[in-house]
Amino acid sequence: MQGSADDAAYLWDMLDAAKAAMFFSEGTNFEQYSHDRKAQWAVERAIEIIGEAARHVSSVFQNSHPEIPWLQIVAQRNVLAHEYGEIQQERLWALLQHHLPQLILTLENCMPPMKHLGT
């Protein structure tokens, strides 16, 4: 099912930010990550971008892709943006380890074809 013309751009932003979050934590374990403030902030920002883009994806596209946890993604963004004093790095680490790899695969599989400029 087709969504808005902007969906492809928002999905690309989600995918790019998810891959970036994985990159920022690559080669580390939780102990290292928990002492690396730069990596934490980078991951937090990437997850914020995922949520911000997700909330702009059309409801038509969201409804046609229930395998993506849209509400949870946006809710996590809201926690990061508005309740930053409550951020639990353990939860973000779990998200990196268990949820982002699957989100990346899902987004890659449901991305609408990108139109080339000038066509």
The residues that are catalytic are 77, 82
Question: Are residues 44 and 87 in contact, defined by beta-carbon separation less than 8 angstroms?
Answer: yes
Question: Are residues 25 and 33 in contact, defined by beta-carbon separation less than 8 angstroms?
Answer: yes
Residue 62, both tokens: 């969201």
Closest residue by Cα to residue 103 from 2, 20, 40:
20
* Longest alpha-carbon distance in the chain: 49
